[in-house]
Chain A
Amino acid sequence: AQKITQTQPGMFVQEKEAVTLDCTYDTSDPSYGLFWYKQPSSGEMIFLIYQGSYDQQNATEGRYSLNFQKARKSANLVISASQLGDSAMYFCAMREGNYGGATNKLIFGTGTLLAVQP
């Protein structure tokens, strides 16, 4: 069965510094997708970045990058140049299966609360 683990309940980072949020996963399916979502205090879930299991390069989206280490089954989110608006809960999620045949069901980790300090 698929499983997502986020071991950092909370983290602090100074404004303008980089921060890494950890995520490990477990699956027996060779085809899967990994996602990061941001949930600010207002409550909405905002999609940040995606990494496919067969993607050769690490995904990047602006200040977000995903450090994908397939052998270690980790998909850490790196936020560069942190801003005060980055303070939020961050969730790692996984979709099992080849996308063409999958239902795109996502299983979420427990989240990491990031606080950016001025």
Chain B
Amino acid sequence: DARVTQTPRHKVTEMGQEVTMRCQPILGHNTVFWYRQTMMQGLELLAYFRNRAPLDDSGMPKDRFSAEMPDATLATLKIQPSEPRDSAVYFCASGLGRGANTGELFFGEGSRLTVL
């Protein structure tokens, strides 16, 4: 059963610490997305990749956030330094960028981040 895998599922850290979240997209999917979900802002698109190349990261605070895809099986989202306002659930999603019928995204279970 193919699925998007995210780690860690939960993370509690102190302000100023570095946080790295990892995502393994579904094998064969060539687009990867990072979303952030909060009560106030809902689901926000932070960054996305096609064929490992970053297409748009305009939703991400550039000074502290960075997103990379070192290889086709791993996407990372890093926050350094973390702040309490970064507390949220971070979702990774993958999809087929071309040639698919609908283009739906398949989501991981999310990484719940709490910054104290």
Contact = CB atoms under 8 A, between A and B. Distances in A.
> Which bracket fits the contact residues of B?
20 to 34
The B interface, classified by DSSP as helix, strand, loop or mixed, is strand
Interface string B6-43: 00000000000000000000000001010100000011
Query: What range describes how many residues of A lie at the interface?
Result: 20 to 34
Interface in B83-116: 89, 91, 93, 95-100, 102-110, 112
A107 B89 CA distance: 17
Contacts of B112: 43
B105 A44 contact: no
B100 A50 contact: no
Interface stretch (A16-24, A63-71, A72-80, A96-104): A96-104
Contacts of B91: 45
A33 to B, nearest CB: 6
B104 A35 contact: yes
A43 B110 CA distance: 7
A107 B108 CA distance: 17
Interface of B: 31, 33, 35, 42-43, 45, 48, 50, 55-56, 89, 91, 93, 95-100, 102-110, 112
4 closest cross-chain pairs (CB), A and B: A45-B107, A104-B103, A108-B43, A50-B102
